[in-house]
Structure 1
Amino acid sequence: MTDLFAAGPVEQYIGLMSGTSQDGIDAVLAEFKEGRFVRVLASHSGHYTADLRSELVDLSREATPVSLARYAQLDRAVADAFADTALALIERAGDRADSIRAIGSHGQTVFHDAVTIGNSLQLGDPSRIAVRTGLTVVADFRRADVALGGQGAPLLPVFHHAQFADAAEPRAVLNLGGIANLTLMPDADAGKVRGFDCGPANCLMDEWIERHLQQTCDRDGAWAASGEIDDDLLRACLAEPYFERDIPKSTGRGLFNLGWLEARDVQLAQRDPANVQRTLCELTASTVASALLRHAPRTRRLIACGGGTRNAFLMALLRALLPDVVVEDSAARGLDPQAVEASAFAWLACRRLRGESGNLPSVTGARRATSLGGIYAP
């Protein structure tokens, strides 16, 4: 790694990301040398107001119709939250932020259906972010891949491969956001990488605990650990056809939400809430483990990232279900689990401005590799 700090062009990019959990905006200031990710220089977490988050969750669940006027207002509100987060990060970074080339902004996904409709929508007007920060913004990363017949998701596997692949050890990366997605890396060959969404990670557990305990997440998985598995409910959930679909595949909160859970079990309201939470945690762990063993049984190391790594009970379940796999979080590989996604979008912005591809057709199913994202000047 020493050569990365030798004389040569060094650039800085900001990455902004809010995932399907919609629990906040992760921001990093990352350093790059000749297009290669070097390190995170600073990080910051921004937040939506409670009312805005609630409305975004409803929108992504397709629970409430929204007018075009309100959609436009939400686009602006998300952009302002992203811009505020970026400006707070720049202030925190101080004189380390003097040479920022651009911002990579993922935006807030509120709709994703690459199969039947062929589109993916993210809120957070990039032109507004550019004007408010005075920086070039790269955004709208998914739709170029979708236009080429791809899923437009997951986008992180190309970054996971660049950071975590090893020629001598079959590895996988597990992102535990609202949705769980896997990146499979049998060796260091990018052409062999596969990636897909397994199913729910935190989204169902977060919605369930918010309904019953008015908390936004199950800290350390403590509530889930207090309950017992409801076998009937678990079987009903595992009967979801998505779990058996071939890859590539992607999903989101539009499928996996409390409406989905209620449709699978008419007796849900009569079940013990703690037992439901325990069952939802088991659903996440079991579908991840099943997907890994089905598609990459030779995997020897699973590197976890995302907010779900803070759920100690979930991580323990994964280790129990995968006894022959080393399960660790990305901090063991030198990158904070909370910084991985935002770092990936800083990296994708860097690649876009260098004219380099940002997708992996072996992951998304696109017809070819392409640069991702539009460029928005301040």
Structure 2
Amino acid sequence: MTHATDVAVSELFLGLMSGTSADGIDAALVRFEGSGTALRCELVHARTLPWDAALRSALIALGQGADSVSLDELGALDSRAAMAFADAALSVLEDAGIPRGRVRAIGSHGQTIRHRPHAEPPFTWQLGDGNVIAERSGITTVADFRRRDVAAGGHGAPLMPAFHAALLGSPHEDRAVLNLGGIGNFTLLPVAGDVRGFDTGPANALMDGWCERHTGQAYDASGAFAASGQIDAALLARLLSEPWFALPPPKSTGREQFHLDWLEARLGSTPLAPADVQATLLELTARTVADALQMTQPTTRRVLVCGGGVRNPALMARLCAHLPQAVVESTAAHGLDPDYVEAMGFAWLARETLAGRPGNLPAVTGARGLRVLGAVYPA
């Protein structure tokens, strides 16, 4: 006999993500069915929409530690960011020809402007008021996912490991999912044992900032700028000596720690060609990723890569060189568009929240226990 609770319900959710690089708003419309390891998801439609240039500059400045902002300016930025998130959601729905009434909810990450899990008291802060998103889009919105985990003693990050485990784990080999956004982070998926996850340090954030300063381009397309330079061993050693890299998980970080002022303080007195610095920053990303994996799960046989860094062949080549024991490949090889994995993950988190299910993993974040994440803003 089939009961109503046995029938898998197919629902549409929309995820919104803007990461450390603030290079655009990723919007992903996702169809979900099932849950846990039986979860099935389909990316219906997705696109990345650019931030308004002035708004992006203000958000990046805040994220890098600027504090000369009035309360009025901060409140306006919160609302303006939310309007941009709502417009991104509506744009994707228009492209897909899907009426907003068919979407169960939006899951919005927001734009992080401070992440201080080690402060006293600890806190994390993402702009993008869920009230504004719900009102402007007409769709129930779940936002502010990280702060409940921080309130429970966790880092509030990373939040993707449970989603990765449901879709990308294997009973046959130890795997790791590597997100190369502004900041790099791992999800470790062993055949046996707990799922774990943590940040590895800068992935694209420093490279993007240095590239923009010296070439005028927002990012190093195909890694060509880095490939034109040479790694400077002395600079690399100074960068790797940063104490944060030696911290054990759980650990998280952001633009407020790894920014161009941090880099400049370590450049030394001998001038380097900008391309050589870029090559060294790329090597820093590859080395810190490989070192972190060797320290935490050396038995990894497959590394599945998502985020903007997967589009950088120079970076992918260095990762392969540093991880010869593992296959390094895009999540696309496993049916997940690498550009939208995180946005899909926040659609999934919204679904978990509305179902009353926890979205964090205490073994990952360090929280005191499982928690239902986010605040719900009804349509």
Normalising by structure 2, what TM-score? 0.95
Question: Is the counterpart of residue 141 in structure 1 residue 142 in structure 2?
Answer: no
Residue 138 of structure 1 contacts residue 374 of structure 1 at CA under 8 Å; is this kept in 2?
yes
1:261 matched to which residue of 2? 263
Residue 106 of structure 1 contacts residue 141 of structure 1 at CA under 8 Å; is this kept in 2?
yes
CA offsets per residue over residues 46-76 of structure 1, 9 Å max, x none?
Answer: 1111111111111100135211111111101
Cα distance between partner residues in 2 of 1:58 and 1:304? 28
Structural mapping, 1:239-318, within 5 Å: 239-267=241-269, 270-318=271-319
Question: Is the counterpart of residue 100 in structure 1 residue 100 in structure 2?
Answer: no
Residue 222 of structure 2 contacts residue 311 of structure 2 at CA under 8 Å; is this kept in 1?
yes
Give the letter aligned to residue 213 of structure 1. T
Cα distance between partner residues in 1 of 2:10 and 2:234? 56
2:32 matched to which residue of 1? 32
Aligned residue among 162, 166, 170 for 1:162: 166
1:137 shift after superposition: 0.2
Cα distance between partner residues in 2 of 1:248 and 1:308? 23
What RMSD in Å do the two structures reach over aligned CA positions? 1.4
1:121 matched to which residue of 2? 125
Residue 81 of structure 2 contacts residue 127 of structure 2 at CA under 8 Å; is this kept in 1?
yes
Give the letter aligned to residue 345 of structure 2. A
Cα distance between partner residues in 1 of 2:100 and 2:61? 36
In structure 2, do the counterparts of structure 1 residues 37 and 346 end up closer, same or farther at CA, with 3 Å as the change threshold?
A: farther
2:236 matched to which residue of 1? 234
User: What 5-or-longer segments of structure 1 have no aligned partner?
Assistant: 1-5
Structural mapping, 1:45-194, within 5 Å: 45-95=48-98, 98-117=101-120, 118-187=122-191, 192-194=194-196
User: What 5-or-longer segments of structure 2 have no aligned partner?
Assistant: 1-5
2:3 matched to which residue of 1? none
1:219 matched to which residue of 2? 221
CA offsets per residue over residues 8-53 of structure 1, 9 Å max, x none?
Answer: 4211000000000100000111001244342111112111111111
Residue 12 of structure 1 contacts residue 97 of structure 1 at CA under 8 Å; is this kept in 2?
no
Residue 30 of structure 1 contacts residue 37 of structure 1 at CA under 8 Å; is this kept in 2?
no
Give the letter aligned to residue 210 of structure 1. E
1:3 matched to which residue of 2? none
Give the letter aligned to residue 321 of structure 1. H
What secondary structure sits across from 1:76 in the alignment?
A: helix
What secondary structure sits across from 1:65 in the alignment?
A: coil
CA offsets per residue over residues 136-189 of structure 1, 9 Å max, x none?
Answer: 0000000111111101001111111111011111000000000000111112x6
Residue 306 of structure 2 contacts residue 341 of structure 2 at CA under 8 Å; is this kept in 1?
yes
Over the matched positions of the two proteins, sequence identity in percent amounts to 54
Give the letter aligned to residue 171 of structure 2. A
What secondary structure sits across from 1:216 in the alignment?
A: coil
2:343 matched to which residue of 1? 342
Residue 100 of structure 2 contacts residue 138 of structure 2 at CA under 8 Å; is this kept in 1?
no
What secondary structure sits across from 2:265 in the alignment?
A: helix
1:214 shift after superposition: 0.9
Give the letter aligned to residue 282 of structure 1. E
Cα distance between partner residues in 2 of 1:195 and 1:87? 32
What secondary structure sits across from 1:192 in the alignment?
A: coil
1:247 shift after superposition: 0.8
Cα distance between partner residues in 1 of 2:318 and 2:45? 32
Residue 100 of structure 2 contacts residue 139 of structure 2 at CA under 8 Å; is this kept in 1?
no
Give the letter aligned to residue 178 of structure 2. L
Instruction: Report how many residues are paired.
Output: 370
Residue 8 of structure 1 contacts residue 33 of structure 1 at CA under 8 Å; is this kept in 2?
yes
